[in-house]
Structure 1
Amino acid sequence: MENKKLAEKIIKLVGGEVNINSVTHCITRLRFQLKKPEKVDRHELEKLDDVMGSQYQGGQYQIIIGGKVGKVYNEVANMLPKLVGGEVEEETVKQSLGTQIIETLSAILVPSLAPIVGGGMLKGFLFLLSTFSWIDVEGGTYYLLNIASDCMFYFFPFILAVSAAKRFKTNEYMALSLAGALMYPSILEVAKVGEVSNFKFLTLFSIPLLNYSGSIVPIILSVWLLSYVYRFTEEHMPSMVTIIFTPLLTLLIVIPIMLFGIAPLGFYIGEYIAIGIGWLIDVSPWLAGFVIGASRPFLVLTGMHHAIRPITQQQIATYGFSTMGPMNFMSTMAQASAALAVYVFIKDKKMKQVSLSATISGFLGITEPALYGVLTKYRSAFIGAALGGGIGGAVGAMLGAKGYAPAMPSVLSIPVYMGKGSIGFFIAFAITVLSTVVITVIFNRILKEGEAATMEDVAQLGIFSPVGGNLVPMSEVNDETFSSGVMGKGMAIRPTSNEIVSPVNGVINTIFKTKHAIGLISDEGVEILIHVGVDTVKLDGKYFQLVCEEGQKVRVGDPLLRFERQKIISAGYDSTVITIVTNAESYPTILEVANGKITKKQKIMTMTV
């Protein structure tokens, strides 16, 4: 049943708006404060699709809906705006600045994966076809396919503008206007000449005309600035004129700052990096190899790598070969190898497909799918690519690897590196791939990012105890929702400790704002709900302390929550910890394999697929 229709029927069957004092919701159920509970038509209510049951408890009429309760509640809120108790707010845990930046970057880039993966694969195959002269690069077929493979990269700022606006909760069409300014034809025409041209804004600020197609950081930072300027202007502008002057003032403020400050920042930094790398190559080639190989993923993300290209061309013009070419090659191969490592250890089917296609296109020389779709999502892969590329670059420099012509780094361009120093090149290539995969796997285990479960019992779809204590029959739990089994198969524990740990290897997908309930999804797809206490939602988070965050990957035994058990009991609440498999219908058999006194991390349930 559609959420809106379900909400309408629920309101009607609890006695209508005139019978409702207020409505809130917890992690599984709508909670109504009713004027006359006897007016509820419980029989018809529980016949509704998606309603698992209902009960009157603690002065509230509770309607059990399960995972979609938040969406149904939002529909109720739209219909009864004066009676709702407020939408559920996710409990947040303070994160480091670095983690916030990585998560934000990943959240913006991931929605763009579809065109990037498709375009990257097509670019790689076109490069393959042209290298072996299997397609006429002057013909119309190549021309059309090249457009299809390159358009998403060329206009990448437009794609990112939309996802960045959604992330920063600002106007998407204003964000697209910023991308339009970066990609304005007259700017691109001047930039294509290859020289940095400048003009003055208000005779004070110099604005370089650069090619920002394919860039990432300029548009993301600009949309971030837009979100603050647009919101501030909209809030302080008189409502009568806000529709006119809010966008006007926002454009007048943000676009100049973007073009003379934010956007060219990467270019200027890249220029100085290029100067430093040129000096480093002369002083210490192996150190330059490590720096170039390790830093290239960062430089590509910020668009700074463009400033380093002239060094390669200058080396070939002066010496007839380039030492930087092999260094860039090793970094490219490291990014492809990191995606390969992710393909091996990741269990998510969608990410397996993404990482496999990123591996193929990466070895063909197109690293955008690997960089945007894999490396920015998994820190272990980014670290592996950086260190593996650095090690490979350093080894290649020490063994005299050289490139004898400018070429896109690709397994198909290996002939460019044949000649004096070719043995060193192949040794460095092998070391790059091997070290990248090993480092990625090691850091994956350290950071616990999406690896397969290592405990034999977990591989057998086992559920482990989240707390030490004594098992009690579910039928004895003083809550009909749980005792009746309507929420799913589960086990109840009277705790003797004050810490909740993860019962599975998986990810935390829900944390209720009052901290008393946590939802997880195991690596195998088992959906788990841990509910601490009966009716403890009324404590509003008192006596609970979270030590985890939504979206966090966890393993069996990782701490999730600490609670003051004795204080909860003294306040008049039952402290029983309930562990429920909420998608029990997906498993033909679920067996209880423990009884009596148990300890944390002891297996309590097994299931078959």
Structure 2
Amino acid sequence: MDTKEKIDLIIKNVGGKENIKNAWHCVTRLRFELKDNSKANITELKSIPGVLGTSFAKDQFQVIIGVGVDKYYEVLVDELGIDATAPVMADESEKRKDTVTWFMDVVSGIFGPLVPAIAGAGMIKGLMGGLVALGVITNTTDTYKVIDMLASGVFNFLPFFIAASAAKKFRTNQYLAIAIASILMFPTMVSTAQAGEISAFHILGLIPVPVFNYSGSVIPVIFGVWGLSYIHKWVDKIVPTAAKTVVVPTLTLFISGLFTLLLVGPVGIYCGKGIAWIIGSLFEVSPTLAGIVMGAIRPASILVGMHHAMTPIALENFATLGYDQLMPMMFIANLSIVGAAAACYFKAETPEEKQIVGSSVLSGILGITEPALFGVLTKYKKGFIAATVASIIGSAFIGTFGVRLFGYITSSIFSIPAYIGPWFVYAAIGWIMTLIISFSLSYVLVVKMDKSNANAKSVLKHDVA
């Protein structure tokens, strides 16, 4: 069965084209906004080759594909005839979305496509930061400066990347969105903020335009493009057709640019600082407690597709603090899932089951845990409990010893070099501890469960906890 045939089946079993309001994807999932969620045939969807599972998250329906989801999405776009940049008016159901649903939709839709760029640059940046911390290299050499350009360019100009992705999510003109980012990143604004001599420009000597360094910021440009999407629709609606070509972009850019500089940009800055303060306060109260909280919620957040909600928080930490302690805990959670799934390999009875578990473990080591979660741990449910316990213990441990990263990276085995530095030993101990605990607990819990039931074969196949 080729990809097109699989997509045709997916479309059919989410209720058909007429039931799909919107569709996008993150790193591992096709995400749908359906008119009627009850029309989704979950049983049939799970039987499609290549589909690892499904998940409902508020008003969002997710079909878990794993690695290669972008190829599925390309076919899906062709089949649905989606114009990712076409402006559309929100209907009543869209307007009724609660804040959590809106936030999840926005985060998954914007940050999913950006992961390759920020992960690749973050890997280089994290590795260089670790080598500097160890004294292996210095940050004054030309070699370092060149490599730093490779690593830091994405983060310094992150608003441009976010603007382009947000334009697709909000279905507005991508180039006008990038223009909004260019306003925030214009050298006059950045250099004035860095100089710190004035707090605001004044239009006509009366209206203050707050001065901030928006380099590497996340929330302001999202708010700016969100505002642009509505302003663009409004302007396009009131301008006569004969004048649209010139007048619409002119008025849109002028109004949305001022709206961003005067209102949503500063609000976004303060929101970002507020989020960083909340997370920082939790670490100040107790790094161990912070680890416990993060370790407990991370596996479940992946299961329901909310894990991308932590991406903007980590990016804000890098922008404001220069480092982040959440991403090491994300890696710990991934390892806990890998360890628990690996133990289930010894419970599988058929070569096919062993192959599924083995491939999911390999995928988890490479940073994609959905196959292990949906292909293994939703079946062996006590294995999921073991993974969560190990995630809590491992995250509490590395939180206690202050393990941190200096650049955004994916949570995979390839990210290990980025941890090189003063905290590497504690990170390594945390990794080993997590794998051992998750594997051991998963193996023991599943074995005890099997022995408690006379029909062990049935329990093994269905793992009714």
Report the TM-score when normalising by structure 2. Answer: 0.50
| Higher RCO (CA 8 Å, separation ≥ 6 residues) | 2
Give the structure with the larger helix fraction.
Answer: 2
Q: Which has the larger radius of gyration?
A: 1
Give the number of the structure whose residues are more often strand, by fraction: 1
